[in-house]
Amino acid sequence: MAIRPLVIVPDPQLRLISKPVERMDAPMRRLVDDMFETMYDAPGIGLAAIQIGQPLRLVTMDVSRRDDSKEPMVLVNPEIVWASEEMREMEEGCLSIPEYYETVARPDRVRVAFRDVDFNPREIEAEGVLATCIQHEIDHLNGVLFIDYLSKLKRERVMRRFQKLARHKDDVA
């Protein structure tokens, strides 16, 4: 297992449409292991494969509190099959946009079809933090970031901050 470097904005990889996973073989399971290790190390409650540079429709999540009861989840090729009319506002952050938090409104409950780590088809209904996290991760698979739901002013302010940071990195390299 290995902790892999995170892809950070404005890296254009974050705008890619990820490709469906066709089978769960040994290399794919190793990728899942690395995603969990990277996610727990960050720490984060979810991670999409593109955040470590792999454009595949693969998500790891664990929304449990603290490490007394880990609840690792793997979503392969997840799809929202139903979303509630009711919305919920939650403060979001993203490992690809470090140390920036803003409130986003999303459907309060969603039904999600996906395949598990053995590639068996499954469906779950999620609400609360889990529903928010699943929607945030599925957005990543489609090249969408939570800042896309903010005003243009806020989004451009954040993007300028990270563009400046990225330029600075080139300076010292």
The residues annotated with a catalytic role in the active site are: 137
Total residues belonging to the chain: 173
Enclosing H/E stretch for 129: helix 128-141
Write the binding mask 9 to 48 for Ni ion: x where contact by CB under 5 A, - elsewhere. ----------------------------------------
Q: Minimum Å distance from CB 152 to Ni ion?
A: 20
Complex with ligand GNR: residue 24 or 94, whichever CB lies closer: 94
Residue of the chain from 57, 106, 115, 140 that contacts ligand GNR (CB under 6 A): 140
- Contact between 133 and ligand GNR per CB under 6 A: yes
State the minimum distance, in angstroms, from the CB of residue 36 to Ni ion.
15
75: nearest Cα among 139, 11, 2, 7: 139
- Cα(173)–Cα(155) distance, rounded to whole angstroms? 27
What 3-state class would DSSP assign to 83? Answer: strand
Q: Which of 108/137 has CB closer to ligand GNR? A: 137
Phi, psi for residue 94 in degrees, rounded to 5: -150, 135
- Contact predicate 79/113, CB 8 Å: yes
User: Interface with Ni ion includes 94 (CB under 5 A)?
Assistant: yes
Site string for ligand GNR, 48-87 (x = CB under 6 A): x--x------------------------------------
Report in angstroms the alpha-carbon separations of 162 from 11, 84, 113, 123.
10, 34, 34, 37
What pairs with residue 91 in β-bridges? 103
Q: Which residues of this chain interact with ligand GNR, rule CB under 6 A?
A: 44-48, 51, 92-96, 132-133, 136-137, 140
Task: Point out which residues bind Ni ion (CB under 5 A).
Answer: 94
